[in-house]
């Protein structure tokens, strides 16, 4: 069973793939698809603040937990408890379920519900059993974590960078897809674990690892069907952050689809990275534009402004934070904008590294665009620190956003340094 890549960048495509996607999308970018079931009921949409006023910011703190993290990364649900992060989270996004044959499917059966935890590995100090019908794996550990934190909600996220190709078929039959998701999320073996569903489609009617040509209305149709099936349970979606003219946020009807979600998670990170092997170096998660930024619209402020400008209420938008850095090597210039020879080495993947490792291996040496960067030897990295996250939280509050989400829990320190800065 393949596991999704840790990164979810929209720009890790080779040139040939980009060209193919561009050609495939030509003439279809704004093509609609068949309307969703008119009988489907919509969830109430939060009203925007009256003109001249600013709605109070929300306090949601949503952290991704990856099912493949239990392997090489050796990060388990118990770590959420021992780090103190569980006390600060309002929601966990469990990543990822797969999308195959137009249906929601299991991502990794062993990690999800079969892996046996010993007493010392378990959240509550009790070992898993092999009794008939007993639930094990991450699902059982999440169940135990929720018992310790009754207000904590868990949302099952489907798709991601690696598995978003399956949404094209799902979009052909939104109601069938939504029913399959409801059946899986509410399976009697783990129905009490999950409080809703998150759709991580990268990207509707645009290109990610693969290119989607489902049409401008496909996202709306899928989310409308999910809302009708899931009723009062949570329905959320991770969405693009590309605010450039004609970019990914223009490819689908994010405003129309927003009425069917409890909130959106705009992925305001991975704007820049070593998929552009020779640079220029640039912070992957800038809060604002700055003099010399490589591309207009590639910063958090522009993303949020564009989404709010579409008419999406601020309290339906969460601010995205990355608990990792992106880096280049072969760099001589300290400030951003330097040239490079390729991706800096990372423990799990070239060009990316956890904050918990970078903070001591390559400490921050400067700030630009509201985030931090570091030059150590011939390597150049960018990442958020507790200080820059604090500034981003001020921005979140000023904008009246619904809260914060981050990718992902295992990148933080053992004592939850970054989530403390969020909370």
- pLDDT tens-place string over residues 173-217: 999 999 999 999 999 999 999 999 999 999 999 999 999 999 999
In contact, 401 and 319? CB cutoff 8 Å: yes
Say which CATH number the domain at 190 has: 3.20.20.80
138 within some domain: yes
Structure tokens at 48: 């925007």
Distance of alpha carbon 411 from alpha carbon 284, whole angstroms: 15
CA angle 341, 346, 351 (to 5 degrees): 45
Mean pLDDT of the 242-256 span: 98
362 within some domain: no
Q: How confident is the model at residue 33 (pLDDT cuts 50, 70, 90)?
A: very low
* The pLDDT value given to residue 54: 58
340 within some domain: no
45 within some domain: no
In contact, 423 and 61? CB cutoff 8 Å: yes
pLDDT of residue 8 exceeding 50: no
- Phi first, then psi: give them for residue 291, nearest 5 degrees: -60, 115
* The pLDDT value given to residue 56: 87
Distance of alpha carbon 105 from alpha carbon 122, whole angstroms: 26
Distance of alpha carbon 364 from alpha carbon 333, whole angstroms: 14
Q: How confident is the model at residue 14 (pLDDT cuts 50, 70, 90)?
A: very low
Core vs surface per residue 218-231: b (16+ CB within 10 A) or e: bbbbbbbbbbbbbe
Q: Is 0.75 topped by the overall pTM?
A: yes
* The pLDDT value given to residue 371: 98
214 within some domain: yes
Domains: count for the chain: 1
- Sign of dihedral through CA atoms 166, 169, 171, 174? negative
Distance of alpha carbon 336 from alpha carbon 329, whole angstroms: 13
Q: Quote the domain boundaries for residue 109.
A: 55-322+385-422
397 within some domain: yes
Q: Of 251, 270, 267, 237, which is closest to residue 310 (Cα–Cα)?
A: 251
The chain-wide mean pLDDT, for the chain, equals: 90
Beta bridge partners of 60: 403
196 within some domain: yes
State what percent of residues in the chain have pLDDT above 90: 86
Mean pLDDT of the 339-354 span: 98
Q: Of 254, 139, 257, which is closest to residue 194 (Cα–Cα)?
A: 139
Question: Which residues participate in catalysis according to the annotation?
Answer: 202
Least confident of 37-51, 108-122, 134-148, 359-373: 37-51
17 within some domain: no
Q: Given the DSSP bridges, would you call strands 263-266 and 234-239 parallel, antiparallel or unpaired?
A: parallel
Instruction: List pLDDT tens digits, range 266-314.
Output: 999 999 999 999 999 999 999 999 999 999 999 999 999 999 999 999 9
- Sign of dihedral through CA atoms 415, 417, 418, 419? positive
């Amino acid at each position: 069973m393949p596991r999704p890549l840790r990164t979810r960048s929209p720009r890790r495509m080779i040139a040939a793939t980009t060209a193919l996607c561009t050609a495939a999308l030509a003439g279809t970018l704004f093509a609609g698809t068949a309307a969703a079931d008119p009988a489907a009921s919509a969830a109430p949409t939060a009203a925007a603040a009256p003109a001249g006023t600013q709605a109070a910011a929300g306090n949601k703190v949503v952290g991704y937990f990856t099912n493949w993290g239990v392997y090489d990364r050796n990060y388990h649900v118990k770590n959420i408890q021992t780090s103190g992060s569980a006390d600060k989270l309002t929601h966990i996004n469990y990543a990822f379920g797969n999308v195959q044959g137009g249906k929601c499917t299991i991502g990794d059966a062993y990690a999800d519900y079969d892996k046996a935890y010993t007493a010392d590995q378990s959240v509550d100090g009790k070992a898993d059993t092999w009794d008939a019908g007993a639930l094990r794996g991450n699902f059982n550990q999440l169940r135990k974590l929720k018992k310790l934190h009754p207000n904590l909600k868990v949302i099952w996220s489907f798709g991601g960078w690696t598995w978003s190709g399956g949404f094209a078929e799902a979009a052909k039959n939104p109601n069938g897809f939504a029913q399959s998701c409801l059946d899986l999320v509410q399976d009697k073996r783990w129905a009490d674990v999950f409080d809703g569903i998150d759709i991580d489609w990268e990207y509707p009617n645009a290109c990610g690892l693969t290119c989607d040509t489902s049409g401008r209305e496909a996202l709306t149709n899928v989310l409308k069907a999910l809302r009708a099936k899931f009723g009062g349970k949570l329905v959320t979606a991770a969405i693009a952050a590309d605010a450039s003219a004609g970019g990914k946020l223009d490819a689908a009807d994010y405003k129309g689809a927003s009425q069917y979600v409890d909130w959106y998670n705009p992925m305001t990170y991975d704007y820049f990275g070593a998929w552009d092997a020779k640079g220029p170096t640039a912070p992957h998660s800038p809060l604002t534009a700055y003099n010399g930024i490589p591309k207009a619209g590639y910063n958090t402020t522009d993303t949020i402004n564009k989404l709010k400008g579409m008419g999406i209420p601020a309290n339906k938008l969460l601010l995205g934070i990355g608990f990792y850095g992106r880096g280049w090597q072969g760099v001589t210039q300290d400030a951003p904008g330097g040239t490079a020879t390729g991706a800096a080495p990372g423990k799990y993947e070239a060009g990316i590294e956890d904050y918990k490792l970078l903070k001591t291996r390559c400490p921050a040496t400067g700030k630009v665009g509201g985030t931090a960067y570091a030059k150590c030897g011939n390597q150049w990295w960018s990442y958020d620190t507790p200080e820059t996250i604090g500034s981003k939280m001020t921005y979140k509050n000023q904008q009246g956003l619904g809260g914060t989400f981050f990718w992902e829990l295992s990148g933080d320190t053992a004592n939850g340094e970054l989530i403390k800065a969020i909370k």
